[in-house]
Amino acid sequence: MDSATLTTLPDDPEILKGIIGKLTREQERFCQEIELLREQIHLLIAKRFGPSSEKTAPRDNPQLPLFDLPEPAEIEPAPEIVEVPAHSRRKRGRKPLPASLPRIEVVHDIDEAQKQCGCGASLSRIGEEVAEKLDIIPATIRVIRHIRPKYACKHCEGLDTDGATVKIAPAPPQIIPKGIVTAGLLAQVLVGKFCDALPFYRQEKQFARLGVALGRATMCSWAMKAAEACRPVVELLHHEIRSGPLINIDETSVQVLAEPGRAATTKSYMWVCRGGPPDKPGIRYHYAPSRSKAVAKQLLTEYTGVVQTDGYNGYDFLDTQEGVIHAGCLAHVRRTFDEIRKARGKKHHKTGSADVALNWIKQLYRIESEAKRQELTGDELLAERRGKAKPILDDFHEWLREKATRAVPKSLLGKAVNYTLGQWDRLVVYLDHAEMSPDNNLVENAIRPFVVGRKNWLFSGTPEGAQASADLYSLIESAKANGLEPYRYLRYLFEKLPFAQSPEDYRALLPMQLKPEQLRLDYDATAV
């Protein structure tokens, strides 16, 4: 404050108190805004340059910070005492090679002259040493020639007879009629893109190195035709998903270039549902141009059971939908508090409210981990959750309500607390349903292969191409969820699909209807 300002100040103490109070309030507001901006900056830096993992250091970690000592948390829950039962430990070392792999035996024997003892007697074989080495044969492309002999009657040449004069066996049904692609090649190309995230232009280069000119446009056409042929199986897969007691649903963005009435940069969405019988799950991808709740309503039409989602408000209609129980995701709650920890930066080691919340959540996950180790299911799992997890949730809820009265609403802590309280009724649903877990990670894990692929192929050309990709992702991810190797499943599917006619034939091709031993390939017979 300069001298000119001081001379203009009033002499009345009450007026001066008012000025000081106003300046104090403005300073508090500015400090609050500065702190909020600092949080945002630290969080953006952490997201841009820091690790994405949400894992925290164990509480019993003896390593202390170099410059700052941690301070005790406010109202920190008492540490839980966990008894670790005795267990057996597997011997460390190289894992044995799979017994299903074919084996070629190479015998390294000594010369016949060395099999003679110095006393003149012949040496006897008393055993052997075996060392297994892993080898690989590079991909080999071959041509399968389908030969169909023609037959005709030489005595009837030139005569006007009824019926065909030349007889020939019918062409074998193919997944893509009149094309050069076999079920094996088609499966390889589609697994390359939708399982291994190899765009068609990269596969084009791979085939060129193998001596075959196979263009990306051709492979794209194959993918479209294969998806169209598999449509009946995908529709049955959607019915299987809605037949289970639980559906996990989530969505992620995708860019489609040639979408009618929309700019090429407009964001579209890939919706993913995971459901069906818990031991035979199915995963369905669905393309939609929007993130509207109308898409979720369409996917969940006539479904009754538990639907587990994140906190996106497009799912709020589930709270009032008849026959549906709306469950929330504890992992998203953990993420909001983890962002506070990251926003503090590496220089701030003081234990705060975020660490307290993360500790509550860690205890809940520890209970789930122990129940999984004990292989608890059904009523036993529910009893474990109600006996151990519910008291923790009650204490956590009370702590959140108290914290909500003091946290700045616009701060990261205020947003995390209010988000958790807003989701609370959905978060505790898992206490009464043994078929579900506290979070929506199952469907997020199913989305991850699509996200990895999107980083490579970047976009879809047309809505039809995006939906074809969705159908093929559905089949591949459902196969993986049921323990089937994707290439073997697709090859089996493409070989059998041309012969399917009835709904029962198509249903028999669903991933949850097959077992790995049904998908043996021709070369499996060479395994020793």
3-state secondary structure of 301: coil
Predicted pLDDT of residue 53: 61
Contacts of 369 (CB under 8 A, 6+ apart): none
Predicted pLDDT of residue 71: 38
Amino acid 334 reads: R
Longest dimension (CA), the chain: 133
Predicted pLDDT of residue 158: 66
Amino acid 350 reads: K
Query: Structure tokens of 171?
Result: 């062409």
State the burial class of residue 196 (Cβ atoms within 10 Å of its Cβ: 0-12, 13-18, 19+).
middle
Number of other CB atoms surrounding residue 210 within 10 Å:
11
Distance CA 407, CA 414 (A): 5
Predicted pLDDT of residue 332: 94
State the burial class of residue 435 (Cβ atoms within 10 Å of its Cβ: 0-12, 13-18, 19+).
middle
Predicted pLDDT of residue 218: 94
Predicted pLDDT of residue 26: 76
Q: What angle do CA 408, 412, 416 make, to 5 degrees?
A: 95
| Beta-bridge partners for 253 | 269
The owner of tokens 């011997």 is 91
| Beta-bridge partners for 150 | 168
| Beta-bridge partners for 167 | 151
3-state secondary structure of 103: coil
Chunked mean pLDDT (size 10), the chain, 528 residues: 63 77 76 71 67 58 44 46 58 78 91 87 90 87 90 77 78 89 94 94 93 93 95 95 94 90 89 94 95 93 94 93 94 91 63 87 95 93 95 95 88 90 95 94 92 87 92 96 95 95 95 91 49
Buried b (16+ CB within 10 A) or exposed e, 441-454: bbbbebbebbeebb
Please state the pTM of the whole predicted model.
Answer: 0.80
Distance CA 322, CA 303 (A): 9
Predicted pLDDT of residue 73: 41
Distance CA 297, CA 303 (A): 10
Query: Structure tokens of 316?
Result: 């709020």
The DSSP H or E segment spanning 288 is strand 282-288
